[in-house]
Amino acid sequence: MSNSDREKWWSKDLAVMDIQFQDRIKAVLEATNRCSGNERMQHYWANVLRELEHTFNKVRNTKRKISIDWDVDDVQTVRSDLTIDQSMCVLERVNKLYDPTIGVNWDTIRVTAYELYGTPRTLRLDKAMESDIK
């Protein structure tokens, strides 16, 4: 089978899969609505929906790429003293200065936050208290 034949087959298969996926989503949403008073069942169906979307996106990845997302919560895990806007600035800076040989990790986020906003306030207070004690 040539690449063009494989791509035609794959795109037809994806079209069918899109329809089936939409039908499953509708069924899950209807099931969620039926159990509107039961929080536990709603949580269960929300997880089913998340799993369906994950599986669909995994199979549907026609670009043959992956991406890993970092968000402001990740920045605030490293630097809880930053606001949401400051955390977004850190992410934008990390993205702008992205180096594929290093990638994005906790250290790049921590160092970028330090470069933009200096030492975390809590660390400065701890050091000040230590100097007062001595």
Q: CA dihedral defined by 58, 61, 66, 67, rounded to 10 degrees?
A: -90
Q: Can you tell me the mean pLDDT for 21-44? A: 78
- Cα(55)–Cα(93) distance, rounded to whole angstroms? 32
Residue-wise DSSP of 111-128: HHHHHHH-S-HHHHHHHH
pLDDT of the residue at 115: 94
Burial of 42 (0-12, 13-18, 19+ CB in 10 A): middle
pLDDT of the residue at 30: 81
3-state DSSP assignment of residue 72 = helix
Residue 71 has pLDDT above 60, yes or no: yes
Q: Decide if 79 contacts 113 (C-beta within 8 A).
A: yes
Q: pLDDT, tens digit, for every residue of 106-126?
A: 999 999 999 999 988 765 555
What ranges in the chain are assigned the alpha helix state H? 3-34, 39-60, 72-78, 84-96, 106-117, 121-133
| Inter-CA distances, 53 with 21, 40, 47, 62, 105, Å | 8, 20, 10, 15, 26
Confidence at 16, pLDDT banded by 50, 70, 90: confident
pLDDT of the residue at 69: 87
